[in-house]
Amino acid sequence: MINAATIHVRNLAIRYSLLLICAAVAAPNIVHAHGTAQTPNQLGNRAITFPDTETYQTLVVDLHTHSVFSDGHVWPKIRVDEALKDGLDGLAITEHLEYQPHRADLLNPDRNKAYTEAASAAEGSDLLVIRGSEITREAPAGHINAIFIEDANKLINAENPPEDLTDVLGFYTAANQWPAQKAVEAAHSQGAFIFWNHPYWTRQSPDGIARITDFHADNAKNGILHGIEIANGNTYSEEAFAIALAHDLALIGVSDVHDLIDWDYKPHEGGHRPVTLVLAEDKSLAALKEALFAKRTVVWFRNTLIGRAPELIPVLQASLEISALSYRKDTSVAQVTLTNKSDMTMQLRYTGEHSLMLSADRITVPAHGEVEVQVKPGAVVPTLELPFVVENALTAPKQNPTLTLVSKR
């Protein structure tokens, strides 16, 4: 149980921490929610860009954000505007059902309100707005997102809530009496895709290490829990990644933004929010949902791509192109150009048998840039295979994938 003094201490702790995960406290920033969020796009296009794979469309989605309808500080329309600026294909605003710090000002009996506001703001655009909620409990259940739900109102059951609307803790406590299991089962009965949020959150796991619990293991086994955040805001969890692999959960990366994307990630300086790349049959809510249940996801966090090999390798292959093979005049020194069609600056380590001319074994291919590579096979050959370890991609904790590019004359 939380008391007011604890809340105060937590508020201070979070205020002075740069790690803002699902702040279950009021943040100190004063924002005029109905004003215009100034987001000058000084560097031009800030859209998060990864190419489609041979088989699938690569959808860029943020499945965990907040607005004023729980503890966020912006109106849902601003989330939609940010998503459009970031070139997202899909967005979910997932309000805390039980933690409602603005309820004295914004009491709305319909918990779908953030969704309907966002869906209306997105009309006329091709942004997919996904209905979702954050089920908010203390450990061990912790925080759980349910998306592709039908009705958020059925995921909360606060009996005898306090009459005083400013009694935020009282409402939270009343709502927490309803077991987390009932809430996830209610979401499951709506066909929801359900994932475990920030399982390493230091407020619920003080050493910052994610550990599987019976609650999560049982729900994963029973097909009720489908995914797990391995990246949330500024944080990444190798342990959550290991849990995902051990319990067959989809890998999810989210912003969990409460304030402004521009403040938290500085896209005008080249930053970006963490997102999930979803390999979908097409760009539609149905295809997105199908792909999530099929766990066809890759997480884009800082300058790292994280995914299982069957999803990650095709994204890397689509991102990195190799030119036709040519030779320097009157020599057997081969030259090829590597072209990067993605947002990730590729950090490659060459592991081939022939030595290189322009570098030792490290090659960096800038995002949306290219580099020339010269190789010395010792003779003019018609085909050259160049194997690389992609050092800023992960297929398992501490495991980098290998990508072999083939160039022909």
Which residue ranges make up the site for Zn ion (CB under 5 A)? 22, 134, 143, 197, 256
Q: Could you tell me the smallest distance in angstroms from the CB atom of residue 390 to Zn ion?
A: 31
Nearer to Zn ion, 20 or 390 (CB): 20
Measured in whole angstroms, the distance separating CA 280 from the mean position of its chain's CA atoms is: 16
Nearer to Zn ion, 138 or 185 (CB): 138
Q: Could you tell me the smallest distance in angstroms from the CB atom of residue 197 to Zn ion?
A: 5
Residue-wise over 169-198: b if at least 16 C-beta within 10 A, else e? bbbbbbbbebebeebbebbbeeebbbbbbb
- The closest alpha carbon to 101, from 166, 161, 158, belongs to 166
Helix (H, G, I), strand (E, B) or coil at 246: helix
Nearer to Zn ion, 53 or 197 (CB): 197
Q: Could you tell me the smallest distance in angstroms from the CB atom of residue 143 to Zn ion?
A: 3
Q: Could you tell me the smallest distance in angstroms from the CB atom of residue 28 to Zn ion?
A: 18
Sheet holding 402-408, edge to edge: 362-365, 346-350, 383-390, 402-408
Length of the chain: 409
Nearer to Zn ion, 256 or 343 (CB): 256
Residue nearest to Zn ion (CB): 22
Strand partners, 232: 235, 254
Nearer to Zn ion, 62 or 343 (CB): 62
Nearer to Zn ion, 89 or 256 (CB): 256
Nearer to Zn ion, 93 or 186 (CB): 93
Q: Could you tell me the smallest distance in angstroms from the CB atom of residue 298 to Zn ion?
A: 21
**Alpha-carbon span 192 to 132, nearest angstrom:** 9
Q: Please name the residues in contact with 196: beta carbons below 8 A apart, sequence gap of 6 or more.
A: 142, 143, 144, 216, 225, 227, 228, 229, 249
Q: Could you tell me the smallest distance in angstroms from the CB atom of residue 386 to Zn ion?
A: 43
Q: Are 133 and 99 in contact (CB under 8 A)?
A: no
Q: Could you tell me the smallest distance in angstroms from the CB atom of residue 305 to Zn ion?
A: 23
Q: Could you tell me the smallest distance in angstroms from the CB atom of residue 256 to Zn ion?
A: 5
Measured in whole angstroms, the distance separating CA 330 from the mean position of its chain's CA atoms is: 50
Q: Please name the residues in contact with 124: beta carbons below 8 A apart, sequence gap of 6 or more.
A: none
Give the HSE-up count for residue 41: Cα atoms under 13 Å, Cβ half-sphere.
11
**Alpha-carbon span 11 to 30, nearest angstrom:** 15
Nearer to Zn ion, 76 or 314 (CB): 76
Q: Could you tell me the smallest distance in angstroms from the CB atom of residue 47 to Zn ion?
A: 24
Q: Could you tell me the smallest distance in angstroms from the CB atom of residue 71 to Zn ion?
A: 8
Give me the phi and psi of 226, to 5 degrees please. -115, -15
Nearer to Zn ion, 102 or 143 (CB): 143
Residue 146 to residues 69, 95, 134, Cα–Cα distance (Å): 16, 10, 6
Q: Could you tell me the smallest distance in angstroms from the CB atom of residue 97 to Zn ion?
A: 11
Nearer to Zn ion, 22 or 336 (CB): 22
- The closest alpha carbon to 115, from 150, 143, 84, 89, belongs to 150
Angle (nearest 5°) at CA 166 between 115 and 113: 10
Strand partners, 59: 278
**Alpha-carbon span 4 to 304, nearest angstrom:** 40
Nearer to Zn ion, 63 or 373 (CB): 63
